[in-house]
Amino acid sequence: MKLFVGLGNPGSRYAGNRHNIGYMAVDAIASAHGFGPWRQRFQGVASEGRLGSEQVLLLKPETFMNLSGQSVGEALRFYKLSPADVTVFHDELDLAPGKLRLKQGGGHAGHNGLRSLHAHIGEAYGRVRLGIGHPGHKDAVASYVLNDFAKADAGWLDDLLRGIADGALALAAGDGAKFQNAVALRMQPSKPAAPKPVPPSPDPAPQAGAEDTRSPLQKLADRFR
């Protein structure tokens, strides 16, 4: 079994926040792949389903971001999973909006949700880092992540979430490159087809009295038109 965790804060007040893009990612997977209903479990809500040959549990901790590790640790122990079986979707200030990167293990870079996960399950879990951009100054970060995405973000955000859903089977199978390619295809719309070249018009036959400047080959071809 694989455990896919979306980080965020519970309640309608936070639903559209940048900090909740992890919730949005697992919601997109659940919707696209026919997962079961969300049920209260492990101090959060969980939904079960399959991605290819893998049984997958989607989990949205409802302990609030700073205590996310409590929920994830409980699910991990219940299913006797290792941190390597866990993939966490979370917002990433250090990536431009719409950018996505995969990472296995490593530090928490000051992210409070990841900091809690480190404390409860260690650092060896996988991460899907979802770029939301940076407000420009560290004092503005808290307000920025706890505010909703702007209307101008709707296009790339929808493409990103659709791409995550498209690539979810590959991610569950451990094929990170194929997963990232699925996202890239959504984020880079196909180019319009190049117009077909128009064949050149044949040289018209000269009018009576005009000098005939056609080549001998053109004169011959015009006789058989």
* Residue 120: HSE in the Cβ half-sphere, 13 Å Cα cutoff: 19
182: part of which helix (H) or strand (E)?
helix 176-187
Q: Measure the N-to-C terminal CA separation of the chain; round to a whole number of Å.
A: 73
Q: Is 19 a catalytic residue?
A: yes
- Catalytically annotated residue among 19, 90, 111, 118: 19
* Distance from C-alpha of 174 to C-alpha of 204, rounded to nearest angstrom: 65
Compute how many other C-beta atoms are within 10 angstroms of the C-beta atom of residue 25.
28
Partnered with residue 103 across adjacent β-strands are: 127
Q: Are 178 and 167 in contact (CB under 8 A)?
A: yes
Encoding tokens for residue 155?
A: 């296009």
Widest CA span in the chain = 98
- Active site positions, annotated: 19
